[in-house]
A = this chain, B = another copy of it.
Amino acid sequence: MKFRSVRLSMALSAVIAATPMLIAAPGVSVARDEGMWTFDNFPLQTVNEKWDLSLDQAWLDRVRMAAVRIQGCSASFVSPEGLILTNHHCVVGCLQELSSAETDYVKNGFMVGTREEELRCPGQTAEVLTEIVDVTDRMLTAGMGMEGQAFAQARQGEVARIAQENCAGDPKFNCQVVDFYRGGRFALYKYRRYEDVRIAFAPEFQAAFFGGDPDNFNFPRYALDASFLRAYEDGKPVETPNHLKWNANAPAEGDPTFVVGNPGSTSRLLTMSQLERLRDQQLPVTLIQASELRGRFLTYAASGEEAKRVSVDPIFGLENSFKAQYGQHQALLDPAFMNTKRQEEAQLRAAVEADPALKQRIGDPWAELETIQAAARDLYLPYRQLAASAGGGSQLYAYARAIGRAAAQNAAGQLTAERKAQLEGALGAETPIYVDMEEIRLGYWLSKTREYLTVDHPQVKALLGKESPEGLADRLIGGTKLTDPAFRVAALSMTPDELAAADPLIAWVMANDAAAQAVASDWNQKVTIPTAQAAERVAQARFAVYGSNIYPDATFTLRISYGEVKGWSYRGVDVPAFTRIGGLYERHTGAEPFNAAAGFLAAEGRINKDLVFDFTSTNDIIGGNSGSPVINARGEVIGAAFDGNIHSLGGAFGYDGALNRTVSVSTSAITESLRVVYPQPRLLRELGVRG
């Protein structure tokens, strides 16, 4: 088994295909706990007044220095010896890689008695944001008066110079120039980087993901979605005096909470016409098609033990992304949500209209985007079926396309040795291929392509010839040699003619690829590029009107959001903010995914059932925030964010304080687990709590 770290890791942005990073919703009203704030622009006064606190920049610096960015997730130092708290679903890939036929760390957890037994997670790094330097002037000066390619090169050159000056190729540092407010502001983010990160503790999978898909994005929850890593350097644990103090006591309802982490991507400046196209076209067709694939997978999974095993991971990924997009769609279908967005847009447009100089500079990007949406409505289905979703997720299709394109580039003298070596590495890797799943994916994609583009579409005719979607898929997947890594690497040195003769799948993909690329290019020219240009002017208008009193869209860089512990109410149902450990045993049925982990079942007689397990708060977070420390006003860690409720998924487009909730696992549940379920006295000592 292998589980991707999705949920709140970075997986929600796929739907917003045509729209790059934009700046955020107004935030001019602070009645709601909205915002993913940068550390140099946090509304300290608002927060201090709201909860009668006296937070200051020193407090912010302290929590910033304890925050850790890892691959696709967030985390924090929680001891002076480099111990890192994050989510279990952020380390499950590492656990999978470290497991063997004898030792299944995913199923059984990772529990060792000594620090020496902690195992390195391949490829895992940890980064601490040590410095934020405004470089807006330098960046705006670079490329001034230039256009097109020259402009882009000048900007890229300046980025490289800034990085070189500040990090100088030192592998201990990572320098990144971040573009906020779409060119309104630039900042150098300098990270201290650790490249030896080891797994220190993980619970059983079933403890971390109790409730599975039915509970995903829902609450109440009983998930111990927490694990510990440790940063090492020169073979020794890193000294981390700037860590968060562990507070094993759960917060109370209404307590202020701060979530510090790396939200991946938001699109809060999409215009109404863009949101409406997403709502009326892109999301419905995406949900409808994903549902059919889900049904195909589920029946396949029920056909036998091996089928179940190989489809667990794809079904998890599919259901997770289905639910994320379902939540986004629900937000866009909510009239109140859309009215807020409409008012915000009207307000901004009025402010532009009232300022002739600004109006002169900005023009009317809203009208342009509306025109672009008309084109997008016409082009979307062909683009989706023939380009964006081509292959339906089949790995063999992806190999065939990569090989075919490389051969074409090679024939045109455009394949660099570097690129070829890179491809050889990727294609030569041993990756398990599940032929049944490949056939389902390819057949499903062909079937939906015929259905949505119709039988009479020229490209549908070219793809299918005289075969049925499923018949063709079975023939191509059954006949390809691409399951063999050696063949894949060898294929990379063949000419297009040799490839066409050597493999039916590659031949077929190559025969249809020019048309697919033409469709993608059409979409790019008529939708992606003009959207980016118009969206940039919307963002500039926003920055001109509101300045940095608003927070920028998420960029997978460090942010802090404030909020409070709070449940919510929806359609007459009140959802309390807390669950308690005893609830796990009540929810346990024994049937997957509501089968409590063996460790928890064994500990039932000894565990304190009154302790808080998971809790919800009003913090504004999104994918990428997984593993973020939840911090109280004293700067102590009281939990790790691991999910949002279903309403929070609308956070891609805007924050709704009445409904959006962050879901976190409490330090009280983690502590109790380390005491009673998976006894780890060494970690408890390190966290400064009694064993």
Footprint of B on A, CB under 8 Å? Answer: 211, 213-215, 218, 220, 280-281, 284, 287-289, 291-300, 302-303, 326, 329, 333, 378, 440, 444, 450-451, 454-456, 464-468, 470-471, 571-572, 587, 589-592, 594
Contacts and interface: CB of A to CB of B under 8 A. Distances in A.
B298 A218 contact: no
A403 B211 CA distance: 35
A571 B378 contact: yes
Which 8 pairs from chain A and chain B are nearest by CB?
A295-B295, A466-B589, A291-B291, A299-B299, A292-B295, A295-B296, A468-B591, A291-B292
Nearest to A451: B214
A287 B283 CA distance: 13
Main secondary structure of the interface of A (DSSP, over half): helix
Contacts of A329: 284
Contacts of A295: 291-299, 444
A547 B326 CA distance: 45
Contacts of A280: 333
B214 A440 contact: no
Contacts of A303: 303
A289 B294 CA distance: 11
A332 to B, nearest CB: 9
Given A298-B296, A300-B299, A592 B220 contact: no
A211 B456 CA distance: 11
A295 B301 CA distance: 12
A218 B470 CA distance: 21
Contact of A299 (B296, B465, B468, B587): B296
Nearest to A283: B284
A173 to B, nearest CB: 46
A343 B324 CA distance: 36
Given A288-B288, A455-B594, 6 more contacts: A288-B291, A295-B299, A296-B299, A378-B571, A468-B591, A471-B591
A466 B296 contact: no
A302 B592 CA distance: 27
A465 B333 contact: no
Given A468-B591, A591-B468, A591-B471, A455 B214 contact: yes
Given A295-B295, A299-B300, A300-B299, A214 B450 contact: yes
Select the residue from A291, A295, A572 with max chain B CB neighbours within 10 A: A295
Contacts of A470: 302
A378 B572 CA distance: 9
20 contacts: A213-B451, A214-B451, A214-B454, A218-B455, A220-B456, A284-B284, A284-B329, A284-B333, A288-B326, A291-B291, A291-B295, A293-B295, A295-B295, A297-B299, A299-B440, A465-B589, A466-B589, A466-B591, A467-B589, A471-B591
A408 to B, nearest CB: 29
A465 B368 CA distance: 55
A218 B460 CA distance: 15
Contacts of A465: 589
A146 to B, nearest CB: 38
Contact of A284 (B287, B455, B464, B587): B287
Nearest to A332: B280
Contacts of A464: 589
A227 to B, nearest CB: 25
A466 B590 contact: yes
Contacts of A333: 280-281, 284
Contacts of A592: 468
A307 to B, nearest CB: 10
Nearest to A443: B302
Contacts of A594: 455, 468
